[in-house]
Amino acid sequence: MIVTILRAMRRDFLSPSTLGGDPFWAFARAMLRYRGHIAVTLVMTVISAVTLSVGLAATQPVLKAILGDSGNLQTLASGFNESVMKGVGAFGPLKHLLISQATIATLPSDPFKSLVYIMIGLIGLTIVGATATFMHQYLSLTVVNRTMTAVRRRAYVSVLRAPLRTIIASGPTDAVARIINDSAQLANGLNVLLSKTLIQTSKGIAGFAAAFYFNWKVSLVALLVTPVLYTIIRKLGKRIRRAAGSALESQGELLAQSTESLQALRVVKANDAEVYESGRFHVINKRVMRELNRVRTARAIASPLTETLTLVLLCGMVLVVARAILTKGLDPTSFILAIVSLAVAGAAFKPLTALVHDIQTSTPAAQRLRELICLEAEPGHSKTGARLAAHAKEIVFERVTVTYPGRVTPALSDVSLRIAHGSRVAFVGPNGSGKTTALSLVNRMFDPDSGRVLIDGVDIASVQVRSLRRQVGVVTQETVLFKGTIRANIAYGGLTSPRVLGEAEIVAAATKARADEFIAKLPLRYDTPVAEQGLSLSGGQRQRIAIARAILRDPRILILDEATSMVDAESEAAIAAALAEFSKGRTTLIVAHRLSTVINCDQIVVFDQGKVADVGTHEQLLGRCSVYQQLVRSQLV
């Protein structure tokens, strides 16, 4: 039994196999990971409900004392014993609840003193109930916060491990919206379920229990409205769920538009496009408002509708019971206390309509998060795969074809190519001819639809992707820097290095990339903060840091995709000389539009419309390849 419990505790509650069924309740089950907290929460809920029910029952002698009935604690205790004895015949263990005569004799017989004791007891019950409610809320929020932390982490890791083409197809901002916005919506639903719905339901049941104790007939009549209320809440809940799903999709579009325009704010201002971007934002923002208003209508009508039905029921009960009181068929004290208890139960149940709708609103968010978590992982991360040995022979493209999602024309079509180890190879061609796509296959950013890429005779699809990417350094035209320091951005290239990299290695990499020249002039040098997207640095400075990052990896294969496009001619010459020295003994694949870069390569591959038009040296291609001749005249300057 203990072993079974321990295995259940270790179970991954956020794996795709455990997230079946209704998406909201699938994530609710994930909270079972914290069984201890939930068990204590349930105990606190019961204590809170019991104190409420006992407190309501204790108001009967108080009310009778106020109305002039000269009761005292001794008579109350004796009456309690009589009630217990009536039940002993049906259930023997009840006799253990009997109060001994010796104890009864110690209780006060004076009515006022008895009332003081009862009031002190009610205060004590209130303190116990309030403490239990606090513990319930505290532990519930702890469970929800821990669960949502795990959900966000699992969703984020799932996106990081998903194939690049999957994320490109839906857009990265959609994934961000789900991780941030949808997780907040789901957290609200889980909090409502565990923290609010549970405590409100228990208090409502406690109120009904007290009402049944005072007068079961009146309480039974109150239950007649329950089926009607359930039907209303259920129908409105379905409408809220549909509207909430559409609202979340629109909010994702709003995030995408605002992120895109603000990240490109320099371009927006340069093109005097503020009014245009404001218009785009306004259109999507209005769509979000319409979807939220659909939720608004359903939520707004629920509460007054249930309140009206409840009031109609209460008025009918008052008329029926008033007639019974007038004909002396009903004790008015019991009726008043039953109505008070039902009012307490109603006050507890009243928020449930809104709480149920909150859960319904969270269901679309849960569905979108589940889709994210259940994304198919990028192939090659299995630990059972073979490790790629250090590259030492050649890279081969074997009849490779690649088509991007949503495209009809292949980006690469039946490409075959052989690149010797240690050679410098330039990839040239018109825009959109497939150069960058071909390079993206080498470190397996994409997998080909057909054909193979082999390194030293090994199909890279059969090896652990990390063992492949550790051997590849990449510098792209679109330089990406992270918020942090210059040191941290350069060190990013050595996160998975098998050797320990210190300050000396970072400075050496920066020096080779000609980045140390400008870093040394900064007041904080390598501790200089870098703004988001590296906007605090010039384009050339960002590119040199990116080159230093690639150098720090000490790669066997170096990919340079327009790596020096944003530096001046003098810096480019210095960086090119440094890269030429660094690339000795490494396979270097270069995309460039400058003849000075291409002409010194061992081999030039000419792409045209997704196919290899020709392969050769500069002199060979200049004499026989019309595509290359046109490139030299128009682009390679």
pLDDT tens per residue, range 90-108: 445 555 556 667 776 666 6
Q: pLDDT class for 418, splitting at 50, 70, 90? A: very high
Find out whether 220 and 285 touch, Cβ atoms under 8 Å. Answer: no
Q: Phi/psi at 560 (nearest 5 deg)?
A: -120, 105
Q: How far is CA 393 from CA 48, 420, 616, in A?
A: 74, 6, 19
Q: What is the pLDDT of residue 304?
A: 63
pLDDT at 403 over 70: yes
Q: pLDDT class for 579, splitting at 50, 70, 90? A: confident
Q: How far is CA 375 from the centre of its chain?
A: 14
Sign of CA dihedral 427, 443, 398, 454: positive
Whole-angstrom distance, CA of residue 263 vs CA of residue 535:
10
User: Which has more pLDDT, 205 or 473?
Assistant: 473
The proportion of the chain whose per-residue pLDDT surpasses 90, expressed as a percent, equals 3
User: Which has more pLDDT, 589 or 12?
Assistant: 589
**Structural domains in the chain plus CATH codes:** 2-72+108-251+293-373 (1.20.1560.10), 394-634 (3.40.50.300)
- The helix (H) or strand (E) run that includes residue 617 is none
Nearest alpha carbon to residue 457 among 364, 508, 394: 394
Instruction: For strands 557-561 and 587-591, give the pairing.
Output: parallel
* Number of helices and strands in the chain (H, E): 26, 12
Average the pLDDT over 56-69 and give the result: 55
Q: What is the pLDDT of residue 101?
A: 72
**24-59 pLDDT tens trace:** 888 888 888 888 888 888 888 878 777 776 666 656
User: Which has more pLDDT, 571 or 485?
Assistant: 485
Q: What is the pLDDT of residue 2?
A: 36
Average the pLDDT over 400-407 and give the result: 85
User: Which has more pLDDT, 88 or 172?
Assistant: 172
Average the pLDDT over 135-150 and give the result: 84
Q: pLDDT class for 397, splitting at 50, 70, 90? A: very high
**365-383 pLDDT tens trace:** 888 888 888 888 878 777 7
CA angle 264, 269, 273 (to 5 degrees): 95
Q: pLDDT class for 265, splitting at 50, 70, 90? A: low
Q: What is the pLDDT of residue 16?
A: 67
Q: What is the pLDDT of residue 3?
A: 39
The proportion of the chain whose per-residue pLDDT surpasses 70, expressed as a percent, equals 61
Least confident piece of the model among 114-118, 461-465, 618-622: 114-118
Strand partners, 605: 427, 615
Sign of CA dihedral 176, 180, 181, 186: positive
Average the pLDDT over 599-618 and give the result: 88
Q: pLDDT class for 1, splitting at 50, 70, 90? A: very low
Alpha-helix residue ranges (DSSP H) falling in 107-225: 111-161, 164-170, 172-177, 183-191, 198-214, 216-222
Find out whether 596 and 581 touch, Cβ atoms under 8 Å. Answer: no
Q: pLDDT class for 479, splitting at 50, 70, 90? A: confident
Q: What is the pLDDT of residue 5?
A: 35
Q: What is the pLDDT of residue 342?
A: 67
Find out whether 445 and 165 touch, Cβ atoms under 8 Å. Answer: no
Whole-angstrom distance, CA of residue 545 vs CA of residue 87:
84
User: Which has more pLDDT, 541 or 330?
Assistant: 541
Q: What is the pLDDT of residue 213?
A: 67
Q: pLDDT class for 85, splitting at 50, 70, 90? A: low
Q: pLDDT class for 251, splitting at 50, 70, 90? A: low
Q: What is the pLDDT of residue 435?
A: 87
Average the pLDDT over 71-90 and give the result: 57
Average the pLDDT over 276-304 and give the result: 67
Average the pLDDT over 411-434 and give the result: 89
Q: How far is CA 2 from CA 7, 9, 163, in A?
A: 9, 11, 40
Whole-angstrom distance, CA of residue 184 vs CA of residue 178:
9
SS3 52: helix
Centre a 10 Å sphere on the Cβ of residue 128 and count the other Cβ atoms it contains: 16
Nearest alpha carbon to residue 206 among 98, 54, 323, 22: 54
Instruction: Give the predicted TM-score (pTM) of the model.
Output: 0.72
Q: What is the pLDDT of residue 90?
A: 44
Average the pLDDT over 599-615 and give the result: 88
Owner of token pair 């990919």: 559
Least confident piece of the model among 193-202, 447-456, 488-497: 193-202
pLDDT, the chain, mean: 75
